[in-house]
Amino acid sequence: MFKARDLRVMSPLIFGLRQLARTVHWPRGTMPPRRAATSSSSRSKRKAEESADSADESLKTSKKARVAEAVPSASAGSSQPTNKVVPDTIVFPERIPGTLRLATWNVCGLAASRKKGFQRYIDAEDPDVLVLTETKVNDEPSMDLALKARFPYWHWSISAKKTYSGTAILSKHKPLSVTSTLPGHPDPTLVKGRIVTMEFENCFVVGTYTVNAGSDLKARTLDQKKEWNTHFETYVRDLDKRKPVIWTGDLNVAPTELGMYFRMRFHLTNAKSNWNKTAGYTEAETTAFKRFIEPPEDVADAATFVDVWRQLHPTERQYTYFSYRFNCRLKGIGWRLDMFVLSERIASKVKMCEIRGEIYGASDHCPLVMEIEGAL
């Protein structure tokens, strides 16, 4: 048992060991030295720093959470890529034997798209029929030799308004006839640049850049959309009585809330809050599309049609359009506006229909591709 005099003798030794301990870098897993006493002002400063660090970490975590919230997860049914340029190397699965491949793409200006990877996509996809919408060409464009060799048959519908709308169909297969009118429509000027129909032996291929109801939903533009829908439905039903129809292009409608992804600030919003407030998602537009797909009983001898991508992907949330504004691509804020709609009697022949989600940057739209059995 130590006595007081023993402690007095050992005090200098203990003091020396403590001083030495403060200069030693202690290995992991060993007992660190006791912290020296600090003044109340030092403790307050340290607490303030720790609080600031904690707040900073909270902010970082919050930002991460907001980014995660902004991008739909795979569990939510979305597997949409977020790249902003067309990949340098593009490889698609080989086409299913015995099928023809059709593709549609809103290029948002052909001249600009050509500079951003348009040809890389065409070379990789190699479709039998290619429908281009919103070409914005003022004259029939000079097609390069490679494109001419790939598609010996083509027709361009050019808008009466310069660098506006525009629709084209390019085909490897010779059509029986080609038209770019909408019978019965009272305004041929509005129709120009909006529609091309190619008739083949076994079907009609109709490509459209459908009238947009306008961002502010003015009565005039919404009425133009209603008028278009009325005459277009009559036209396609008449075609369908002769042979099956493949309707494709930018339809400028989101038939259901699955076809869009809304987000306001950092909070998801219910699609119901945008109902009748956003072009493409109004009662007039969605009702017209539903009527086209599944006509009411009072429409005599009206055939039904099938939105084939939705039929093959009944719960998926994937999109063909992402606005360049507000970083929508990265946030996954999109619309499914581009479609293949087929006469029901040939819908079972479709073996594949996919959104080429990785092909983005040459346009604010992604291409949509379909493979179907049989000859055109």
Q: Pairing between strand 204-209 and 245-250?
A: parallel
Cα gap 132→107, rounded to integer Å: 7
Cα gap 241→290, rounded to integer Å: 19
Token representation of residue 356: 């080429």
Check 121, 209, 261, 319 and give the catalytic one: 209
With CA atoms as reference, report the closest residue to 210 among 128, 113, 118, 106: 106
Per the annotation, does 250 bind a ligand?
yes
For the question of residue 365 being annotated catalytic, the response is: yes
DSSP per-residue string spanning 161-204:
STT---EEEEESS--SEEE---TT-S-HHHHTTTEEEEE-SS-E
For the question of residue 338 being annotated catalytic, the response is: no
Per the annotation, does 126 bind a ligand?
no
With CA atoms as reference, report the closest residue to 226 among 188, 185, 259: 185
Token representation of residue 323: 């606005």
For the question of residue 250 being annotated catalytic, the response is: yes
Check 250, 319, 321, 360 and give the catalytic one: 250
In one-letter notation, the amino acid at residue 69 is E
Per the annotation, does 53 bind a ligand?
no
Per the DSSP assignment, residues forming a β-bridge with 106 are: 133
Q: What's the alpha-carbon Rg for the chain, to the nearest Å?
A: 31
Per the annotation, does 364 bind a ligand?
yes
Per the annotation, does 327 bind a ligand?
no
Per the annotation, does 252 bind a ligand?
yes
Bind-site residues for Mg(2+)? 106, 134, 250, 252, 364-365
Q: What residues are labeled active site?
A: 209, 250, 365
Binding-site residues, in ranges, read 106, 134, 250, 252, 364-365
